[in-house]
Amino acid sequence: MYVVEKISLCDFVKKVGQARVARALGVKPASIAKALKMRRNIEVTVAADGVCVAQEVRPFPSHVADDQDAKQAKSSSAA
């Protein structure tokens, strides 16, 4: 796969739209909306032939970030 561009999911959606991103990644638009709402760190690689692959970048060990995310979600829902 010849990589043309690596772009954040948020920027990719701004560039081509949520529905086109969902089709390119083989998911429902609601999945894209939820990933954006949850501010997940997802990087999309776009190949020269138009094939798109998405990967989530997470810290290692991930359980530390999961604990922080859970605490942050609880505090924001309490407000």
pLDDT at 57: 92
35-68, pLDDT tens digit by residue?
Answer: 999 999 999 999 999 899 999 998 888 776 556 6
* Measured CA angle at 10 (ends 60, 24), to 5 deg: 95
Please report, for residues 19, 32, 51, the alpha-carbon distance to residue 28 in angstroms, rounded to integers and kept in the order given.
8, 7, 17
User: Does the pTM exceed 0.75?
Assistant: no
pLDDT bin (cut points 50, 70, 90) of residue 76 is: low
